[in-house]
Amino acid sequence: MDLSLMNKEQKKAIQSTEGPLLIMAGAGSGKTRVLTHRVAYLLEDRDVPARNILAITFTNKAAREMRERVSALITEGTQDMWISTFHSMCVRILRSNINHLGYENSFSILDPTDQKSVVKDILKRRNLDPKQHNPRNIIGFISDKKNQLIRPEQSIAEAAAYPDTLYSEMYHDYQQILYRNSALDFDDLIMLTIELFDKEPKVLEYYQNRFQYIHVDEYQDTNHAQYRLITQLAAKYRNICVVGDSDQSIYKFRGADIANILNFEDDYPEAVVIKLEQNYRSSKNILDAANAVIENNTERKPKALRTARDGGPKLQNIVADSERGEAEEVVGNILDLAKKYSHSEMAILYRTNAQSRAMEDTFVKSNIPYKMVGGIKFYDRKEIKDLMSYLKVVLNPNDDISFERIINTPKRGIGPKTVDKLKAHGQATGISIFEGIKESDFIGIPKTAVVKLMGLVDLLEKLAQKSKFITITELVDEVLESTGYIEVLESEKTIEARSRIENLDEFKTVTREFDRDNEISDELLFAFLSDMALVSDQDGIEDDSGVTMMTMHASKGLEFKVVFIVGLEEGIFPSRRVIYDDKELEEERRLMYVALTRAEDHLFLSRANSRMIFGKTESNMQSRFLSEIPEELVEGGGAFAQDDFSSTGSAPKKRTPKRSRVVTNNSGVSFAIGDKVSHKKFGDGIISAIKGEGDSQELDIIFTKVGVKRLLANFAPIEKKE
């Protein structure tokens, strides 16, 4: 294989094929190129059979891109490789082996809406108010336990206080319902695969022998369950190559554990470590800014990105009066840059989706095309959820969660009392709603309802038979026509109904693409539903017609010629809830590093003097991350100098601030920017700025509970905290 275009470190990473390998790949350092060439090198130069190679990524889009790149390098003999996401890999393993755990092989995969329905049902049974017990919080609790591989029984035993005791019991209820329905949520896919390997050593040994060369992309984003799964698979041959960057670990809120990559050499003492520090994406000014920011973190593997792209435009500073003004400034710059760049080459990044509103309004008024990542999802629309539920029940009739959704959709005269009787019968006898319908004559359901229910069962059984011999598109047409779903929408003759029909037609675009790439078989419907269940936000970023608007988290792995980072204010970014926690603050700084390194040519850093967010107007200091960027990299010089921050303990600054003010009050206590303080009324806070002179000196303090307050230094009832 020709590796002449690779730099020295890339070439070494490709050719180091035996034993554990850690590739510390900085942003824009060509890691995907290295991974794909390494796989191709194993196939072509090392004669490794394709079936012995496994490559795991985090999105379907990344997996698809990797497979296409490998296929372009090696035209034959690549079919037996597994290149997939963690969840897709586990679906394939469980599809063949989940019967060992007592589940049906035609198991369903719950989406977040399905999970919410299950939790709401549990709350109803326990006579608990969803307003007091937010289903989202309960689902998060369950997800966290599963990612830590904690089963319900262990969670109950370890729960020390309310609400953990209640939520642990609800976790037990939740898991029992899923088991009865032969249904899995996303976290189950990994947890149950590990459970399968623990219970059936021969199954584990089969996959260890199959996957003798394992590659894991974005290793810094793995959680405990993913780490355990990879450790199991790699235990026999230890030919494990992990690629990642500790400076881009930004998913702690999803359970990602940065220790997995930082401790790789402890897990594999014989590991080879290679750093990819040559950046092929960003200009030198952008890269120097990113390096200066991330150097303030301590929890990292030191490295320094370099680039051959000297100079480049300096970073641009936007300071607006309000969020509306900020949006107008951004739009003005986009209009100027549109002479050189297409809209699709530009992106606006923000910390939370709530910040997008003002920007979106201004885009609409300016007639600038845009696309939003992470907004209302196509697959969450009612008509699409209804259709997907029908398909799930056709595959797995014991899926009560989906069955309950379609039992009276479209309306067929089956009321909630009938459904409640079927559910109660199922809980008493341990059977599904589908099976319970066949016994409905004997459980007090009116004859007219029994006839309708049996008609539905007959319809679903016929669809299940047909599904084995037709395409997914043909099956969708059969479902929509035979259930009367389309007929009902057409009869409504409303704008909303017409929109729903158009969405169902658009869904057929998805099915036709799937049918084009897959042959008719007994496995076709399972494969399609699995693909749909595993779609992520980034998988939908195909449209190239407008400016991209997304959160910084969603931008990871992407790149744009022009990037605007907006909302760079204390309390927004970094978020107020993290600035007193050093570890959380370091994670926010890594997020800033990710955002900075998405830009290739132009980078705009924007903030507003006041901003309305969540219905409340706030006036916050500029983000401390701006103060960490050297002034010489910014257009106009010291644009970021006015609100310097000291470190809050996470790391000593590598650069001496231009200004470092200290004030001593009447009691002889000295205060400096960055000091943590406590106020009798306002609670804990941190000093963000010192202003004025003499007796008029004032302290700007960001308090956890009440936000920013300006107090006279001499008279404020505050104490310094160590």
Catalytic residues: 31-32, 217-218, 248, 598
Known binder of ligand: residue 32?
Answer: yes
Measured in degrees and rounded to the nearest 5, phi and psi for residue 566 equal -110, 160
Nearest to 464 by CA among 397, 532, 520: 397
Dist. CA 147–CA 225, nearest whole Å: 5
Dist. CA 114–CA 389, nearest whole Å: 10
Q: 367: which 2 tokens?
A: 């007639």
Known binder of ligand: residue 680?
Answer: no
Known binder of ligand: residue 31?
Answer: yes
Dist. CA 683–CA 687, nearest whole Å: 13
* DSSP conformation class of 630: -
Encode 644-713 in three state secondary structure.
CCCCCCCCCCCCCCCCCCEEECCCCCEEECCCEEEECCCEEEEEEEEECCHHHCEEEEEECCCEEEEEEC
Q: 639: which 2 tokens?
A: 């644009």
Q: Within 10 A of 695 (CB to CB), how many other CB atoms are there?
A: 10
Distances (CA, A) of 118 to 64, 124, 125, 175, 181: 33, 10, 11, 10, 11
* DSSP conformation class of 676: E
Contact indicator for 403, 392 with CB cutoff of 8 Å: no
Dist. CA 347–CA 544, nearest whole Å: 12
> Cβ contacts of residue 16 below 8 Å, gap of 6+?
272, 274
Known binder of ligand: residue 26?
Answer: yes
Dist. CA 184–CA 111, nearest whole Å: 9
Contact indicator for 631, 639 with CB cutoff of 8 Å: yes
Dist. CA 283–CA 310, nearest whole Å: 6
Known binder of ligand: residue 444?
Answer: no
Identify the residue whose tokens are 């035993």.
157
Known binder of ligand: residue 25?
Answer: yes
Known binder of ligand: residue 415?
Answer: no
Encode 217-231 in three state secondary structure.
CCHHHCCHHHHHHHH
Burial group, residue 239, by CB count within 10 angstroms (0-12, 13-18, 19+): buried
The phi-psi region of residue 620 (left if phi > 0; otherwise alpha if psi is between -120 and 50; otherwise beta) is beta
Known binder of ligand: residue 117?
Answer: no
Buried b (16+ CB within 10 A) or exposed e, 655-678: eeeeeeeebebeeeeebebbbbbe
Dist. CA 570–CA 625, nearest whole Å: 9
**Any idea how long the chain is?**
722
Q: Within 10 A of 90 (CB to CB), how many other CB atoms are there?
A: 25
- Which parts are annotated binding residues for ATP? 25-32
- Which parts are annotated binding residues? 25-32
